Amino acid sequence: MELTCTQENLNKALNIIGRVVNKNTTLPILDNVLMETEKGRLKLSSTNLEMGINCWIGGKIIKEGKITIPTRLFSSFIGGLPNQNIEIRQVGESLKLSCGNYRTEIKGLSAEDFPLIPKIKADPIVEIKSLLIKEALIQVLPSVSLSESRPEITGVFMDFSQLDKNKLVLAATDSYRLAERSIDLNGAKINKEGLNLLGEKKSLIVPRNTAQELSRILDNSDGELKIILSENQILFDCGSVNLISRLIEGQYPDYQQIIPTIFKSEAVVDNGEFQKAIKISSLFSDLKTNSVSLKADEKSKTVEIKAETGEVGKNSSKVAAQIKGEKVEIVFNHRYLVDGLNSVNAEEVALKMNDSSSPVVLSAAGGKEGKKDFLYLIMPIRG
Amino acid sequence: MPNITDEQLWQAVLGEVELSVSKANFTTWLKNTFIVSKDDNEVVVAVPNAFAKEWLENKYHKFILEALQNISGKIEKVSYVIKTASPDPKKFNKINSQKEGSRVDGVTPFSQSADNGFDGILNPNYIFENFVIGSNNELAHAACVAVSKNPGKVYNPLFIYGGVGLGKTHLLQSIGNEILKNDPRKKIKYASSEKFTNELVSAIKNRGTKAFKDVYREIDILIIDDIQFIAGKEKTQEEFFHTFNTLYENEKQIILSSDRPPNAIPALEERLRSRFEGGMIADVSAPDMETRLAILKVKMTEKNFEVPDESLKYIASCFQKNVRELQGAMSKVAATCQFHGLEPNLDNTKKILADLVIRPLKKAITPKDIISAISGFYDVSTQNIIKKGRKKEIVKPRQMAMYLMRTEIKSSYPNIGERLGGRDHTTVMHAVEKIKNDLENNKALEQEINLIKEKLYT
């Protein structure tokens, strides 16, 4: 293998694929990145056997070939080079690089032993703006369960059942809170036949790590993302980067039934002010439960936030609010609350409540149609 | 090859493939694979993920096909599907409910299989087959075998006691292994009393005592090693008491071991003591010469190493009190001889064991050491031993102290009297005489003396 490419491109590619690499003791080659010339471009691949990433960059290919190189070393090395052209040449199982005044030789391993990253040859079921998916993933990811005790909720739920209504729904929960985002597919290309692969359920569960990587890989540009399915596998294709991953098997909980439809009271608050007040109160909350209490009263036109711990002290603050309905007081875990307020991503947030033991729903306030697409539900802490 | 099951076939294939690929590759790509279906000339193999599928299809296909053909001739085609090893849950549940109607509902099938051989703590090397029976442990062994054949029905609880390194743990684990062998579905919990305490403590810390209780009360056989360590831990004793009762009422087998009989464990609650004594109590004591020789011979066959009789006799005569040390000595002789190419004759054996045998067996002990050992063992204060007063619970420890001072450090009678609060030398003579007589008739007392001596000299 012999080629020339820019430091910038190589560095960017290594940053993308390097995240998948984790120290694998049984198969040391998984610590390596596979470099391979393919159709006039350089392809870099890495995998942890749960997911694999392929990334293509441009360059001048002089001689075809492939080799694997320790990812961490290679990535740190390339990151430190000046932004100039890099000449890369394979000599046996080593890679010789020259860039500016730097001359380097890195020992690698034969590409023969590198895992084959599965290929999916199928038509995409959806082709959609990258940015939309990225935004939605960032909103739901904080709610994904970290506990392995229920594998089916350790991923992001993707529901394709409402494609007829041009809607793709993403959801995540850890059984204490739930985030649901629906994406408007107007203008996206949909291949309804591809859906048969999903079987009866018309939905799938993407592992948390995969979803997280995907949200990082997708850039803010106008690029398109193709979602391609095969048995147990999903491929996210965004042009120069491909992410392929296993799917989580299992039945995602039927979360719709726990979202209340009727609310006794509703408070609309300024998101920034409200978050600030909660963060201050959280300093005084109990370390075990992280509890802060909210009290909404129509007459006083404020939401009062309170926290108290015996040995630390106590705090209460009031945030102006437009309140309709009954007086109510509910105790929350402040972390969940702040996560939710962040995810709502609107200047004014509506808190919809019933009583101290029923779930509360957060969503963007106001009638603007575009913002109706996200809701965040939190279970209260019962006294 | 007729009548070979898919599993056997696949094991054979794996065995062949293993030879041609590296270990890391073998475990990465062939773990959790199995045969899904097989007809005359096609085999379908399940693999856990798409990476493994790609790899097997493209890299190992030739090995696998060849191996299959070697073993089962006609196979022409192998294909791979992605499937995880866990059986279809619906089917599993069905089988479960048919076979084990008595199981509690709501317990998930997967945790059940994980429960067996609990935490992998049962050591498979401890089985009845390699336990050497002698007059010193006949009774204990017989009781253990009876319990393993019929858990929960005969001797419940079974209480085994005896000194260090005499095979208590071996017997206990053998019961567990034997029961599992007869019925792999049985849930066995093997724990030291320290582990029991630790689990309880962490359960209290995490407010999970309910889960703790559930774990311990839903098992079929509870084995607790070294139960004497729960002495003095009140909360543990209470929790153990309740666990004990629940299991006992449900006819679940409880097996305990200790270094002394229940009535000699200090600071043990009365209700527990009486329960321990309610079942079968058997002791294992130090083996006699013949048994020690037999143990050495078993060890010799295990190691596949020939040692002449006179050497064996020498080893057996040097290590009288502790089977573990006896086996250790044997291992040392075998290893040294094999390593240096020596003949294990009497001279060499003596040389090899010299540093083990001529260790300063009796470190210098003082009357003070004896008194504090006694006070620790019987849980009475030193002052009470020395003070005037003839309460029954103090008199016995005091007499023991006198006996030990006389036999172990050969103090004169008046001197002993002096040490123990200015008592008359005739009192001491009477005490020593009494303990000596009791020792002849009372096995438990002998056990106690040995334990105290152990404490003194370690």
- Tell me the ipTM for this assembly: 0.72
**Which chain B residues are within 8 Å of A231, Cβ to Cβ?**
82
Percentage with pLDDT > 90 across chain A: 54
* The pLDDT of residue B310 is above 90: no
Would you say residue B324 lies in a domain?
yes
Which phi and psi (to 5°) does residue A33 adopt? -105, 140
Domain count for chain A = 3
- Do B417 and B270 reside in the same domain of the chain? no
Q: What is the mean pLDDT of the segment spanning A355-372? A: 77
- Do A237 and A275 reside in the same domain of the chain? no
Dihedral, B386, B387, B392, B396 alpha carbons, nearest 10: 10
Nearest to B51 among A26, A28, A118 (CB): A118
State the CATH number of the domain containing residue A75. 3.10.150.10
What is the per-residue pLDDT for B121?
60
Would you say residue A215 lies in a domain?
yes
CB-based contact A66:A38 (threshold 8 Å): no
Q: At what angle do helices B323-340 and B289-303 cross, to 10 degrees?
A: 40
pLDDT: is B375 or A42 the higher one?
Answer: A42
Domain holding A150, by residue range, is 126-255
State pLDDT tens for residues B83-105. 775 544 333 333 233 333 322 22
Q: How sure is the predictor about B357, in pLDDT bands with cuts at 50, 70 and 90?
A: low
Q: At what angle do helices B209-217 and B193-205 cross, to 10 degrees?
A: 150
Cis omega (within 30 of 0) on the bond before A118? no
- Do B39 and B72 reside in the same domain of the chain? yes
What is the per-residue pLDDT for A235?
93
* The pLDDT of residue A241 is above 80: yes
Q: What is the mean pLDDT of the segment spanning A257-276? A: 91
* The pLDDT of residue B338 is above 80: no
Q: What is the mean pLDDT of the segment spanning B329-351? A: 81
Closest CA of chain B from A49, distance in Å:
6
- Do B396 and B306 reside in the same domain of the chain? no
Nearest to B50 among A26, A27, A232 (CB): A232
How far is the C-alpha of A242 from the C-alpha of A63, rounded, in Å? 24
* The pLDDT of residue A103 is above 70: yes
* The pLDDT of residue B219 is above 80: yes
Task: Kindly list the distances between the CA atom of residue A113 and the CA atoms of A68, B20, B21, B29, B394, in Å, as whole numbers in the listed order.
Answer: 9, 14, 11, 12, 76
Q: What is the mean pLDDT of the segment spanning A25-49? A: 89
Report the residue of A20, A23, A25, A27 to disrupt the B interface, i.e. the one with the largest count of B CBs within 10 Å: A27
Percentage with pLDDT > 90 across chain B: 0
State the CATH number of the domain containing residue B300. 1.10.8.60
Closest CA of chain B from A27, distance in Å:
6
Q: How sure is the predictor about A25, in pLDDT bands with cuts at 50, 70 and 90?
A: low
Would you say residue B100 lies in a domain?
no
* The pLDDT of residue A300 is above 80: yes
Nearest to B28 among A26, A119, A233 (CB): A26
Closest CA of chain A from B111, distance in Å:
11
CB-based contact A313:A335 (threshold 8 Å): no
Q: How sure is the predictor about B111, in pLDDT bands with cuts at 50, 70 and 90?
A: very low
How far is the C-alpha of B243 from the C-alpha of B424, rounded, in Å? 50
Report chain B's C-alpha Rg in angstroms: 29
State pLDDT tens for residues A213-233. 999 888 766 788 999 988 788
What is the per-residue pLDDT for A212?
92
Q: What is the mean pLDDT of the segment spanning A65-79? A: 93
The residue from A113, A134, A158 where one domain ends is: A113
State the CATH number of the domain containing residue B10. 3.30.300.180
Q: Distance between terminal CA atoms of chain A? A: 67
Domain holding B15, by residue range, is 6-82
- Do A373 and A274 reside in the same domain of the chain? yes
What is the per-residue pLDDT for B363?
60
Q: What is the mean pLDDT of the segment spanning B316-323? A: 81
What is the per-residue pLDDT for B286?
82
What is the per-residue pLDDT for B191?
83
Q: What is the DSSP letter of B393?
A: H
How far is the C-alpha of A51 from the C-alpha of A19, rounded, in Å? 11
What is the per-residue pLDDT for A91?
92
C-beta atoms surrounding B380 within 10 Å: 18
Cβ distance of B82 and A117 shorter than 8 Å: no
Q: What is the mean pLDDT of the segment spanning B152-177? A: 85
Q: What is the mean pLDDT of the segment spanning B174-201? A: 83
The residue from A255, A282, A314 where one domain ends is: A255
Q: What is the DSSP letter of B102?
A: T
Write the DSSP string, A88-111. EEEETTEEEEEETTEEEEEE-B-G
Distant-in-sequence, close-in-space partners of B217: CB < 8 Å, separation ≥ 6: B243, B246, B247
* The pLDDT of residue B438 is above 90: no
Find the range with the poorest average confidence among A18-22, A134-138, B348-352, B454-458. B454-458
Would you say residue A383 lies in a domain?
no
* The pLDDT of residue B256 is above 50: yes
Residue A277's identity, in one-letter code, is: A
pTM above 0.90, yes or no: no
Write the DSSP string, B175-190. HHHHHHHH-TT--EEE
Q: What is the mean pLDDT of the segment spanning A319-325? A: 92
What is the per-residue pLDDT for B110?
24
Closest CA of chain B from A131, distance in Å:
28
Spacing of C-alpha A224 from chain mean position: 17
Write the DSSP string, A202-271. -EEEEEHHHHHHHHHHS-SSS-EEEEEEETTEEEEEETTEEEEEE---SPPP-GGGGS-S--SEEEEEEH
Q: How sure is the predictor about A234, in pLDDT bands with cuts at 50, 70 and 90?
A: very high
Instruction: Please give the mean pLDDT across all residues of chain B.
Output: 79
Q: How sure is the predictor about A345, in pLDDT bands with cuts at 50, 70 and 90?
A: confident
- Do A8 and A99 reside in the same domain of the chain? yes
| Strands B158-162, B280-284: pairing kind | parallel
A54: its two tokens: 């392929």
C-beta atoms surrounding B182 within 10 Å: 11
Would you say residue A162 lies in a domain?
yes
- Do B425 and B410 reside in the same domain of the chain? yes
- Do B214 and B307 reside in the same domain of the chain? no
What is the per-residue pLDDT for A371?
61
Find the range with the poorest average confidence among A37-46, B24-33, B115-124, B400-409. B115-124
Q: What is the mean pLDDT of the segment spanning A99-121? A: 89
State pLDDT tens for residues A111-160. 988 988 888 888 888 899 888 899 999 999 999 988 877 888 999 999 98
**Which chain A residues are within 8 Å of B53, Cβ to Cβ?**
118
Would you say residue A120 lies in a domain?
no
- Do B190 and B264 reside in the same domain of the chain? yes
The residue from B298, B333, B357 where one domain ends is: B357
How far is the C-alpha of B247 from the C-alpha of A261, rounded, in Å? 48
Helix (H, G, I), strand (E, B) or coil at B248: helix
What is the per-residue pLDDT for A221?
67
A-contacting residues of B 291-320, CB under 8 Å?
Answer: none
Q: How sure is the predictor about A339, in pLDDT bands with cuts at 50, 70 and 90?
A: very high
- Do B351 and B421 reside in the same domain of the chain? no
